Amino acid sequence: MQTVSEMRSYGGTQGVYTHASDACACDMTFALFLPEEAADAPVPILWYLSGLTCTHDNAMTKAGAQAWCAEQGIAICFPDTSPRGDDVADDEAYDLGKGAGFYVNATQDPWAKNFRMWDYITKDLPKAVGEHFAVDLDRQSICGHSMGGHGALTMAMSYPGRFRSVSAFAPIAHPTQSDWGKKQFGAYLGDDTSKWAPHDSTLLMRDKGFDGPVLIDQGSSDNFLELLKPEALAEAMAARRQEGQFRMQKGYDHSYFFISTFMEDHVTFHAEALYG
């Protein structure tokens, strides 16, 4: 574990760190905010998964989460969205390759060597954070934006009992039926669409749901609505009678202005589950 930077923030510490990842076979970077309570005892942790083109830095600097996490006494971790490095495969398109890991374990060349973001988020990163920082992995929740909302929802439903709550901002809700999904799943996982289904939150919601509360916020003026397909997830939640809320926020788009506006709601939502 190498410290890139550490700064005082809302009484706690905002740090950026690098570590070796077995899953991604390269060094990975993440940001972690620890509230002041972490100086005395391990605190609950919220994982925030970012969207296409992002690194650890986007949400760390734009989401405004630190103030609300400090108020609630919880840590928040901002991982990167893909492996990085000169030897890591990439694509000219913004929505494939670096910055677009889609939170799956790739099985196809040239992606299989490094693009194992599912294992990185669910195994490597929690192990590293738990070993080096004062966080309580028995109390964890997960959230994300866009591609990260897709990752947060699919991981939460795939690991019953691990996360106490899950939330998403404008998630890619039905990727097996969207060009934000079909392209990436085909490249990373191959042409067998049965391998895609475990990474579609709408299909998972229909099949098993989540064993805790769910909060989804979607902007009504999001210019990616046709790619996100929020109505499919909303219908699946209603059909399953899933505990939670799906909120359409009038006039909001896909940006961090939208995320920062409702970040307090999401942090409070998770804090209630983590301390409940």
Q: Angle formed by the axes of helices 65-72 and 256-275, to 10°?
A: 10
Catalytic residue among 21, 201, 222, 266: 222
> Residue 222 catalytic?
yes
* Active-site hit among 21, 82, 141, 146: 146
Q: Is 146 a catalytic residue?
A: yes
Q: Are strands 135-145 and 163-169 parallel, antiparallel or unpaired?
A: parallel
Residue in the block written with tokens 């209630």: 272
Residue type, 204: L
- 161-198 b/e with 16+ CB inside 10 Å = b? ebbbbbbbbbbbbbbbebebbebbbebbbeeeeeebee
Identify the active-site residue in 199, 254, 266, 270. 254
Catalytic, 132? Answer no
Tell which phi-psi region holds residue 73, choosing left (phi > 0), alpha (psi between -120 and 50) or beta.
left
Catalytically annotated residues: 146, 222, 254
